[in-house]
Copies of this chain bind each other. A is one copy, B any other.
Amino acid sequence: MAHPAPQDPLKDVRLFVAEHVGSLMEFWGFKRVLGRIWTVLYLSERPLTAAEIGRRLALSPSAISVALAELKRWGVVHEAVVLSTRTRRAQSWRAESDVWGMVSNVLRQRELPMVRRTEEVIRTALEALADAPQDAETRHLRQAMRSLLLLAGAGRAMLETLLSTGRASAEALKKFPA
């Protein structure tokens, strides 16, 4: 999969996949390491301790600690109930596997606020233009910003529909510019 002599295929395979999911997640605006950790947990038969994760991904305890805290905030990993059978006292972690749950969570908590903020920004900008002179330039600017506002509204509606019904249509977007 990678280096000269792949002596442990399982390990290699897990890292290979984790690395790629890491890229995917980075692409979606998360830190690469979050995707790597989620994947290692998802691919593991049993919950792993922070130390085990660190060993598999060659990361320091502090890096793991920070990353796990963030993953937990997103509800993407969970603390596993500790099977206290003689086990040392280590917390262990498992991956959430409800993908739509995780995705919709992020859409709700991160993308939706962002679209709303966009509408807000454009409204503020339009207001700031309230007593600007009525020349062609201002008229054009106002018109363009009204278009952007409609666009942001269409985007928000699309997201909200997707979140509540699980379906979305790009029709409104296609009509832009209105």
Contacts and interface: CB of A to CB of B under 8 A. Distances in A.
Interface of A: 1, 9-10, 12-14, 16-17, 20-21, 24, 27, 29, 42-45, 97-100, 103-104, 114, 117-118, 121-122, 124-125, 128-129, 132, 136-138, 140-141, 144-145, 147-148, 151, 162, 166-171, 173-174, 176-177
A16 B100 contact: no
Q: Which secondary structure dominates where chain A touches chain B?
A: helix
A84 to B, nearest CB: 22
A125 B171 CA distance: 39
B128 A45 contact: no
A20 B118 contact: yes
Nearest to A9: B132
B174 A170 contact: no
